[in-house]
Amino acid sequence: MSVSHLPEPAWLATAIETFYASGLVVLPTTLDTALCQQLLAEAQQASLQPAGVGRGQALQLNPEIRRDHTLWLDGSTAAQQQYLDLMAQIQQAANRRCFLGLTHHEAHFARYQQGDFYQKHLDAFVGRSSRMLTTVCYLNDVDSGGELQIYSEDDQPLLQVKPQAGTLVLFESARFPHEVLPAHSTRYSIAGWFRID
């Protein structure tokens, strides 16, 4: 669906301003409750697979690095379509304000069960990846554990995000190292990337 005719909501303009200034923005209660619940139900019913490390031919399972289970969104349900439409709106706003030339978005459901983690990593390396901007949206609330720990470019702890349903995080993929701390209870999210291809 084309979203070019939709007016840009005020929260999105503000979010992109913050992102433009700092390369990172955390947006609580961005997904509405009904959409979040539908996506959560889909994630809970989906047959998620152990996530790999690396890309293409080099993709390997490595439970010392990451232990989440994932499944790519294919836009086959109304809820996924609604989520991907929101990402398209964000892509358009980011391209307008930050001149990023983003061409598309890919996203997967992810589940971290008790004890699962994802060690500190970057989602992209300058000049070696077409992943430009990372999005993470949380689908359920957790009391403790499973926090997203983000580090600064010089590797100092910068900010911790506690997964709460509807919170959306955006950051530059090649700029901020980050990790998922061990989950204490099951944690569902959608992680995605805006790319230039």
Binding site for ligand OGA (CB under 6 A): 110, 118, 123, 136, 148, 178, 180, 189, 191
In the bound state, the residue with its beta carbon closest to Mn ion is 123
CB of 143 vs Mn ion, minimal distance in Å = 23
Partner whose footprint covers residue 67, from ligand OGA, Mn ion, none (CB < 5 to 8 Å by kind)? none
Between residues 37 and 149, which has the closer beta carbon with respect to ligand OGA? 149
Nearer to ligand OGA, 102 or 118 (CB): 118
User: How far apart are the C-alpha atoms of 121 and 151, rounded to whole Å?
Assistant: 10
Q: Minimum Å distance from CB 24 to ligand OGA?
A: 13
- For ligand OGA, the closer CB: 92 or 189: 189
* Distance (Å, whole) CA 101 – CA 189: 26
Specify the residue, 140 or 189, whose C-beta has the smaller distance to ligand OGA: 189
List the single partner that 116 binds among Mn ion, ligand OGA, none, CB under 5 to 8 Å by kind: none
Chain contacts with Mn ion (rule: CB under 5 A): 123
Residues 6+ apart with CB under 8 A from 159: 24, 26, 149, 150
Q: Are the beta carbons of 132 and 100 closer than 8 angstroms?
A: yes
Instruction: Tell the smallest beta-carbon distance from residue 123 to Mn ion (Å).
Output: 4
Report the candidate in 170, 121, 186, 131 with the shortest Cα–Cα distance to residue 18. Answer: 170
Minimum distance of ligand OGA from residue 163's CB (angstroms): 7
The four Cα atoms 96, 28, 111, 67 give a dihedral, to 10 degrees, of 80
Amino acid at 132: M
Alpha-carbon span 43 to 139, nearest angstrom: 9
